[in-house]
Each structure stands twice: as C-alpha cells, then as structure tokens.
Chain A
C-alpha cells in the first residue's frame, strides 16, 4: 500500500523586543546568568505582569504578513506545569482566544506553488534554561530568557513531505526576518520547531495517529527527523503494527526519534484565563497603521528582482530567501549594471565565505567579507578590461583579506590586465620559439595544443594577458 505523510508544524519564535513581555528586563541574549531578572520574571511572591505593547505590535506584524485575522479581543491564559525553569509554575500564554487566526504561508514545492494554512498565532512568555552538570551533581537555572516574548505559529497539517516542511520553515523564517521581529536563529533557540507527523494510505481522508517530534535545532534536523519518522510509521503499519499517539525526541547523533511520553502521560495544563491581565484589546486603527508600515516581503521582492533586473527565478529565490542577502545584492547592483554578474558573485563566492566563516549568526550579516560597492567596483574593472575574470578571483581574495578597494589592490599588486598587442605578441613569440616541435604538431592538426600555448603565454604574462586579445593574436600568429 502507498502511504502519504501529513505534517503540521508548531514554531516558537522569540520576538526581538528590547525588553521582556511582562517586565522591563532586557530581552537580549548572552548576558551572564540571571543578570536580566527582576521580581516579575523570577516569579517572586506578589509580583504581577504588565504587558509590553511592542511585543503585541511585533506579533500583529507577523500576523498581518501571514494574512491572519487579528482578533480585536484576545485573552491571556495560564498554562500550569511544574519545572525549575518556569518560576511561577505556570506560563502566561494564550489558549482559547489567540491574537491571530487563519492566514497562510506560500511555499514552492516540486508540484508547484502551495499555500500552507495557519491555524493561529498566539503570544506567550519564554521559559528560563536549566543547566545540568555544570556544578557537580547540582543543576542550575538561568532565568535570563524567562519572560522573553514568544509567538507560537501553528500550521494546519498541510505539508506532505519533509521538503515541504523545510520550505515552509525557511519561508516563515524569511518573513519574520524581513519583518525584523525575530532573528530566526535555530541554533540559539530563537526559532524553534516541533512537528506533528502522521501517515495514512494515499487518498484516505482520515488522519492517521499523530506523533509529535521535539528537539530539532536546525532546518536539516527537522527534515531528517520527519523523514525518519515517516519511514518508521510506514514500517510499523506495513508490519501490521499499530501506532501510538506520543511525543518523540529527535536524536541527531543516531538520527532516530525516541519515545518521550505517551498520551496517557501527557500533561494536563489546566489552562484558565489569566486573572492578572486584562483581555488584550487591539484597536483596528492601530492594526491598519501597522499594516501600512509592513516592509516588502520575500515573495514581492523576488518578483520585483526578476522584473527589474531580469534575473532567472532561481537566482531571485536564493537572493531573497534572506533579507540581508537581498539587501547586499541590491546595494551592489545599484553600482553595477550587470545584475547577473553580481548575482553570480553573491550566490557564489560571497555566500560561500559567509558560510565558511559562519558570519550569518544574527538577524543580519553585518560583517560581510566584502563591501557591496567593492564588489561592484571589481566587476566594473572586469568590464573595463582592466582585469580578467581570472584575476578578479585573486582581487576578490585580496579584498577579503585586506578590505581595500579593488583598484588599489590591482595597482599595488600590478594586476592590471595587458591588452596592448606589443607585450602579448612578445610573449607569444617567446613561447612559440621555445616550443618549436609543438608548433609543428599543432600545424600538423593537433588542435588541442592551442590551450597549451594559451596556458604557457598566460604564465609568461603572470596571468595578466587579456584572454580575448591573447586568443585572437595567437590564432592569427599560428595561422600565419
């Protein structure tokens, strides 16, 4: 029997507000443990939450970008459970009446475009972090993250493959980054994903038994975990077994999912309306005001880049997946007319270096290996014939190392391309004279030797000979 997978994702995205959602403490990452705390986020007796308006604005921004309906009145609820990183013994969240309802994220699939519907987006507070094994047998708790605003974005079970899940996540992250409401860093945990996976006979209307997978801290892990889980579930069914509704953890070392708890041991969170906060009232005028300030989003930008710069759709897709990358491309292309050349360099050498040097560790790449105007200036030197494409590689590396503008590098290193006939002809004569036998073979019909001569002449000119000129002159000389 053929099976198909049904996948829904729950994403927790930390909002990039200055302060926490219910107190004035800094929401920034990386401070020494428990520096960003106060009676409110430590759950001291008598402390009460006060809502950060900016956090609501960010969530509304995300909701509008995803086409959600923004509820004029939503409600806070307490989710009750005991854990050391949860100082109040409950998490302030939203339950029955969330801030955003509906909406969708458009993704590209092998079968074309597809809209993954959203169930809801609700707001909540993040927890602290338990630190184990740091101090002998004692566990410690760091409450810096406790109270950082989160939104939980819940999709409908609309995805059918790990690739679709990956595309959804990448698109969602791109949108949140464009909105500047979340830095989307899966490794640091500011963008976290749980997956609900089930399988059913292809064509069946009913859903199979759902398994929730947790602990996937990269896009790659999400795809692999889902892939593994689909195979596991299909294997169980093919062997005549039955699946149990449960939560499983992804083990990235062994690349398997393991059972964490079954349905019988699922938490009863005893949700009830949070009495310390008033219902969240969102003024429709304010929502419209926020809508007017929404930036250009990835899909619109991709279409515009194709339209304005005549780039292939693939290039535009890669460039717009990250706002910072698209910004870089557009900064360079403003100073250089050949968009495809810019695109090739950005998608090639620039992105390679960003990845190799792990420069994409925040919302925006600020430490670009090469300034966009330097890249544009370098391409202009190629266009003008000052350097060859081959020399450009060397100039690029030199810009990366020194940060100097390309013209200065070219001058300092004497990399100016030789385009005058004289020096090129001299080099041709020198090489042909030293290889008289090969010249004879070439003239005897061994055409392949043309490349050998070019290489020798390039070496003689230290690579600076204008390749086109060299080709023309050499061909004429050998023919003569």
Chain B
C-alpha cells in the first residue's frame, strides 16, 4: 500500500469507511509529511496541527456514531484568503498579519460540517493578486517539481501543498486563473466553478464579479467530492445562485462518446511553449480517440480579455481594499499625525508593490472623466467575450485549451516585468470574464520534468460535463500516477 499521505481523497475515504485507517492516523501522516517537506516548499502561512488532530478525533468519533461522508476525516488545507474562525487569516498581506477571523467563510463551514480536517492556511499572492505566489508578504512557495520554479498563483500554496502531498485536497480561489494556472504548474487537478456556484461569503474579496472558490486535488474525483461539499446557494451571498447541487462525483460510467469539443484557434498562439502545445494537442487526440468530435472554432475577442480584466478587476479591487484603513482591524501605522497620515502610512506599510499597483490602476480607471473610456469600455468588452463563448456553446459541449502558455517559470524570472507576469493568465482570464466553469488537469510533462495542464471549459453550471470529460481523459492517461520527488 502507498503511504497514507499519498492517497487520493477517494482512496482515503474508502479506507476510512472500511475502518482500515482512522482519521487521526491519516492526519498524523499528513502532518509528518508537512514537517519534512515544508522547509523546502513553503506552502503554508499558518499550520494548525493541534486543531487538525482535534478535528480528526472528532471525525473518528462521528464515524463511530454512524455519520458517513466522503470528506469525513480527510485532511485538507485552505487558501489564506478564506476566513477560518479563530485562526489567523492574512490574505498573504502584512496588513492582515494579526487578523484572526471572527467568523467562518461559508465554504469553511461547509467543509467543517462534512467533517474535513483542516491542517492549515495556504500561502498565496497578496490578496490573490499574482500568478506566481511571489507577491506573498510571508514566503515564496516553491514548485515541488522543481524548487527553483514558482508554483503558479495566486493559489500557489494550494497547488504546491497538494502536489507535495501535504494535504489530500485544498481550496483555492480563482479570479483570472488563480486555481487553474497553479494546478497546471504543479500537476494537480483544479476547478473554477461557474460564477455563483460557490458562496463568496467570508472570502477576502479581490474582484467581486470574478472571484470564485474552487477545489484542488490529485484526481478529478477528489475535486468533484470537494466541490459537492462547498457548492450551493448561500443566503449570505446575493450572487450565489439558488439551484440544486448534483452529485459531481458520480463519474464512474461517464462516457464522452459524441461529445462536441471545440478548440479555439486563438488559444494556440505564436510564442507559446512548443512542448505545451504538443502535450495539449496529444490530449485532444486522446479525447478524440475516446469518441469526442473535435472541431476548431474561433473566440474572436480573446485578445481583449487581458486589458478588460485588468480594468475591471483592479477597479473592483481598488474599492474592495479600501476597508484596510487601520481603523478597525489589521495593521495600523503607529504615531501618525492626523487621520490622512494614518491612512497613508498604514496602507504604504501594509500593502505590497503589486497590490499598490492594482489599487492605483483601478482608482484611475474609475476616476471622473476616465470611467467611460476604461471601466465602461471594459464592461462592453466583457459582454462581447461572454457572447463569443455563448456562440460556441450553441454547437459545442465543451471547449478545450491549454491552461497556461508555458510550464512553471523560474522564481524571480518575471517579478520585474508585470506585463509578462500578466500574460501567464492569457488562457484563463476570459473564462472568469464569462463566468464559466473550467478545470485544469495534467496532460503531460516537459523534457525537464515540469507538468503541463489541459483546460476544459463548460457552459454555465455544467460542471458535471466538465468533470466527466476530465475524468474520461484522466482514466485514459497515466499522468495522475506521476509525482514530484521530494
């Protein structure tokens, strides 16, 4: 048998249900794994070992009383932009360095109710702004496949922890690719659900109209199990949608025969890594061999997605981050003369460079006299992009693309060039603008040993079809059996 920390969620759930292992044993194994690998990976901002063992004991006790459930006793970890009551929640920022969450995010509460064991809070780019996790105020998380490389971002800690087998699954958030791009870089599965599928209550807001929580795991089934636990209407989030949650993990008999797969030509661009293109094209061939009908299509407004995103997301962020003012919680600069000085010194000291850049961008885009030219124009572009997808989905069931144009890049490689950094989300950002569900799963490994991700995009609320497509591919390929040597 494999070591306990190597198990997928569904494997561990089977052993727990059969009484072959206990949640406490499993949690101890995971905590041991964290102890040996964390000095190399730096995936966590806060570890909650005591809490985790207490939750594991409680899970075993609940099971003894007859409570069942696929997540009961499963060790997971949570991105540090998601509130966990009584546990420090920093959003990767100095400005929330001392902030202990006074309440649970809805997703946190739902995982607790399902009996999942939370081992800690995962590193991320500050306020989820970034594509490499280098913007964290706490640590640079390393890619477990190559410690000189980034894990992607902003949910880099989540992807790295799952890849390093420090937890069986994790929650991330995705505003422009922040689940899928790191999943791609770290060789794990990650899904960004349809906007409104999962509650945002208790999730530190970056860009409210784009943010969505989603799971990451080693397998499609693991993701499906986590998604099933966190999805659903929440009366505390007016943008969450009131519709039933299907059994996402019912994938056993999934067939993709006759599935109409669209391949947008704008996603195979000049300058993309040839090994990535090769692996993705091979992945598409696998889908075809499984009976899918593959057709090239066009998403003509793709080129405008990044500029539109960086107007809309930063505009919302400039407003969302105004609450970090030193008045109520978090950092306050000491000994400031007057209110304005206190605001300026607190925010100057509390926010990192990228966050400041985005606040300034967004403030500018909303300013009197510029609103129409920037924010309004970007919203119009967003409508066009949404329409591009809707048009393709009239005749196709899913869209398949690469998740990112390159594999993981080196730590420090892009930190001095924000525009280059922004381009690493070029294939994921449009999907957030359109609010669609999309998943990334491993579809290859480069000659120097780095994972490559395949992105599957679905119609709104068609997570089941996205998961079924991914599952069919996963079963037909062997990538899920490859793990980094740590």
Interface residues of A (CB under 8 A from B): 39, 42-51, 78, 80, 82, 84, 87-90, 141, 268, 270-272, 275-278
Q: Which residues of B contact A42 (CB under 8 A)?
A: 328
- Judged by a CB distance under 8 angstroms, whether B6 is at the interface is no
- Judged by a CB distance under 8 angstroms, whether B154 is at the interface is no
Min C-beta distance of B369 to chain A, whole Å: 9
The answer to whether A278 and B239 have CB atoms under 8 Å apart is yes
The answer to whether B103 and A44 have CB atoms under 8 Å apart is yes
Given contacts A46-B203, A48-B201, contact A272 B375 (CB under 8 A): yes
In the complex, the chain A residue whose C-beta lies closest to that of B199 is A48
Min C-beta distance of B195 to chain A, whole Å: 10
The answer to whether B205 and A272 have CB atoms under 8 Å apart is no
In the complex, the chain B residue whose C-beta lies closest to that of A268 is B368
Chain B residues 53-111 with CB under 8 Å of chain A are 82-83, 89, 91, 96, 99, 101-103, 105
Q: How far is it, in angstroms, between the C-alpha of A46 and the C-alpha of B103 when the chains are bound? A: 10
The answer to whether A46 and B327 have CB atoms under 8 Å apart is no
The answer to whether B328 and A43 have CB atoms under 8 Å apart is yes
Given contacts A272-B315, A275-B209, A276-B208, contact A89 B325 (CB under 8 A): yes
Please list 27 pairs of residues, one from A and one from B, whose beta carbons are closer than 8 Å in the complex, sorted by A's number. Answer: A39-B102, A42-B328, A44-B329, A45-B83, A45-B91, A45-B99, A45-B323, A46-B83, A46-B201, A46-B204, A47-B201, A48-B237, A50-B235, A78-B319, A84-B327, A87-B323, A87-B327, A90-B319, A141-B327, A270-B318, A270-B363, A271-B366, A272-B319, A275-B207, A275-B239, A275-B316, A276-B239
Q: How far is it, in angstroms, between the C-alpha of A90 and the C-alpha of B235 when the chains are bound? A: 22
Q: How far is it, in angstroms, between the C-alpha of A82 and the C-alpha of B323 when the chains are bound? A: 8
Q: Is the interface of B mostly helix, strand, loop or mixed?
A: loop
Q: Which residues of A contact B367 (CB under 8 A)?
A: 268, 270
Q: Which residues of A contact B316 (CB under 8 A)?
A: 272, 275
Q: Which residues of B contact A276 (CB under 8 A)?
A: 205, 208, 238-239
Min C-beta distance of B174 to chain A, whole Å: 16
Interface residues of B (CB under 8 A from A): 82-83, 89, 91, 96, 99, 101-103, 105, 200-205, 207-209, 235-239, 315-316, 318-319, 321-323, 325, 327-329, 339, 343, 363, 366-368, 371, 375
Min C-beta distance of B96 to chain A, whole Å: 7
The answer to whether B208 and A80 have CB atoms under 8 Å apart is no
Q: Which residues of A contact B203 (CB under 8 A)?
A: 46
Q: Which residues of B contact A44 (CB under 8 A)?
A: 102-103, 328-329
The answer to whether A50 and B325 have CB atoms under 8 Å apart is no
The answer to whether A45 and B96 have CB atoms under 8 Å apart is yes
Q: Which residues of A contact B83 (CB under 8 A)?
A: 45-46
Given contacts A45-B99, A87-B327, A275-B208, contact A82 B236 (CB under 8 A): no
With most chain A CB atoms within 10 A of its CB, the pick from B203, B204, B327 is B327
Which of A48, A50, A141, A272 is in CB contact (< 8 Å) with B366?
Answer: A272
The answer to whether B238 and A46 have CB atoms under 8 Å apart is no
Q: Which residues of B contact A46 (CB under 8 A)?
A: 82-83, 105, 200-205
Q: How far is it, in angstroms, between the C-alpha of A78 and the C-alpha of B319 when the chains are bound? A: 8
In the complex, the chain A residue whose C-beta lies closest to that of B330 is A45
Q: Which residues of B contact A51 (CB under 8 A)?
A: 238
Q: How far is it, in angstroms, between the C-alpha of A90 and the C-alpha of B205 when the chains are bound? A: 14
Which of B91, B103, B239, B366 is in CB contact (< 8 Å) with A80?
Answer: B366
The answer to whether B322 and A82 have CB atoms under 8 Å apart is yes
The answer to whether A89 and B319 have CB atoms under 8 Å apart is yes
In the complex, the chain A residue whose C-beta lies closest to that of B96 is A45
Q: Which residues of A contact B375 (CB under 8 A)?
A: 272
Q: Which residues of B contact A278 (CB under 8 A)?
A: 238-239
The answer to whether A48 and B238 have CB atoms under 8 Å apart is yes
Q: How far is it, in angstroms, between the C-alpha of A44 and the C-alpha of B100 when the chains are bound? A: 11
With most chain B CB atoms within 10 A of its CB, the pick from A48, A49, A87, A90 is A48
The answer to whether A45 and B204 have CB atoms under 8 Å apart is yes
Q: How far is it, in angstroms, between the C-alpha of A88 and the C-alpha of B324 when the chains are bound? A: 8
Which of A50, A90, A268 is in CB contact (< 8 Å) with B236?
Answer: A50
Q: How far is it, in angstroms, between the C-alpha of A272 and the C-alpha of B238 when the chains are bound? A: 18
Q: Which residues of A contact B103 (CB under 8 A)?
A: 39, 44
Min C-beta distance of A47 to chain B, whole Å: 7
Q: How far is it, in angstroms, between the C-alpha of A42 and the C-alpha of B325 when the chains are bound? A: 13
Min C-beta distance of B238 to chain A, whole Å: 5
Given contacts A45-B204, A275-B316, contact A80 B322 (CB under 8 A): yes
The answer to whether B329 and A80 have CB atoms under 8 Å apart is no
The answer to whether A277 and B319 have CB atoms under 8 Å apart is no
Q: Which residues of B contact A43 (CB under 8 A)?
A: 323, 328
The 9 closest A-B pairs by CB, nearest first: A89-B322, A270-B366, A275-B208, A275-B209, A46-B202, A43-B323, A45-B204, A268-B368, A88-B323
Q: How far is it, in angstroms, between the C-alpha of A42 and the C-alpha of B238 when the chains are bound? A: 18
| New A-B pairs, 19, CB < 8 Å, besides A45-B99, A48-B237, A80-B366 | A43-B328, A44-B102, A44-B329, A45-B96, A45-B204, A46-B82, A46-B203, A47-B201, A80-B318, A87-B327, A89-B321, A89-B323, A90-B319, A141-B327, A270-B363, A272-B315, A275-B209, A276-B208, A277-B238
Min C-beta distance of A450 to chain B, whole Å: 77
Q: Which residues of A contact B237 (CB under 8 A)?
A: 48, 50
With most chain B CB atoms within 10 A of its CB, the pick from A50, A275, A277 is A275
Q: How far is it, in angstroms, between the C-alpha of A48 and the C-alpha of B328 when the chains are bound? A: 17
The answer to whether B322 and A90 have CB atoms under 8 Å apart is yes
Q: How far is it, in angstroms, between the C-alpha of A105 and the C-alpha of B327 when the chains are bound? A: 41
Q: Which residues of B contact A78 (CB under 8 A)?
A: 319
Q: Which residues of A contact B321 (CB under 8 A)?
A: 89
The answer to whether B200 and A48 have CB atoms under 8 Å apart is yes
Q: Which residues of A contact B201 (CB under 8 A)?
A: 46-48
Q: How far is it, in angstroms, between the C-alpha of A67 and the C-alpha of B451 when the chains are bound? A: 65
